[in-house]
Amino acid sequence: MNAPSTMTSAVRPATAAERAARAEANGGEPTLEFAERTPYDAYVHAGTLHTLQQTLSKDPGEMSFLMISQVMELYFGLVRFELRETQRLLGEDDVYGALAPLRRCALHLDGLNAAWQTLRWMTPADFNKFRNLLGEGSGFQSAMYRHLEFLLGLKTASLVRPFKRQDDVYHDLLASLNGPSLWDDVIALLARQGHDIPAELLTRDFAEEHEAHPAVEAAWVAVYAEDTPGNLLRQLGEALTEVAERFDVWRHKHLMAVARTMGAKVGSGGSNGYAWLQRSMARTVFPELWSARTHM
């Protein structure tokens, strides 16, 4: 028999009655003695998290840059989790259930966007104090951010190439690239709900970026025409709009952060920096959901 892990032994489920009994025994004070590490640390792994900030320079500003980058990576993973949960529920035709992870996703994106605020102090001179030490390291190489783009329908097959030497990461990204995006799943849902969606949109190569189609646009015009409390597809459309809008805010804030700290300098990852990000921002998330508004 395997010995119980520290996680299992330190985090023990407790009932409301047990919590009440503990509070009475403690006289209302918090518990201060534990047989092992605190249950909080066993659950959150805070001790591990705080060992991951390994700066390359002696400049104190680098800590902000590194830690906020790590915070953003955690948010990327959280948003990916919510988008995948949304896909699962839509695949089961549970439109009502899918609204909750989408709404959480929009709030997570608010938190992600707020993280840019703490880097607004950084000027080009501040960034230059440690930038050279980053070598070719660039946010462009974030696998988790690439997952978000793929899940949101922004597919570019060449962007998985940097991860070829990281086998697990590479194959996970290939699965996201080749699988349906959230928008593909929404289009399939519209078809199952009786909207006239061409078959080729449902069986296309999902590794190719979706091109806006008038049939999808017409479906959303029809959905929004029924303005009733029970119209779950309309609620879905609004929840998707919130996610797309907040994702665009993140892209814009990223662009502004680059302009603030680098101007038009060449990017660390080999791109032309600001200009490359500008071109990337021109790609629209959930395009027909926006274009349909012209016809409503």
Half-sphere exposure of 51 (CA within 13 A, CB side): 4
- Predicted TM-score (pTM) of this structure: 0.91
What's the pLDDT at 9? 53
Binding-site residue ranges: 131, 254
What's the pLDDT at 57? 96
What does each of the 296 residues of the chain score in pLDDT, given as a tens digit? 344 444 445 678 899 998 899 999 999 899 888 888 888 999 999 999 999 999 999 999 999 999 999 999 999 999 999 999 999 999 999 999 999 999 999 999 999 999 999 999 999 999 999 999 998 888 788 999 999 999 999 999 999 999 999 999 999 999 999 999 999 999 999 999 999 999 999 999 999 999 999 999 999 999 999 999 999 999 999 999 999 999 999 999 988 888 888 887 766 666 666 676 777 778 899 999 999 999 99
What's the pLDDT at 213? 98
Binding-site residue ranges for substrate: 131
What's the pLDDT at 270? 60
Q: Are 140 and 271 contacting, i.e. CB atoms less than 8 angstroms apart? A: yes
Binding-site residue ranges for heme: 254
Please state, in angstroms and as integers, the Cα–Cα distance from residue 26 to each residue in 14, 32, 265, following that order.
Answer: 16, 9, 60
What's the pLDDT at 5? 45
Distance between start and end Cα atoms, the chain: 64
Q: Six-digit token pair at 102?
A: 């989408």
Domains within the chain, CATH numbers bracketed: 6-49 (no CATH), 61-295 (1.20.58.480)
CA angle 246, 250, 253 (to 5 degrees): 130
Half-sphere exposure of 173 (CA within 13 A, CB side): 26
What would you report as the CA-atom Rg of the chain, rounded to the nearest whole angstrom? Answer: 23
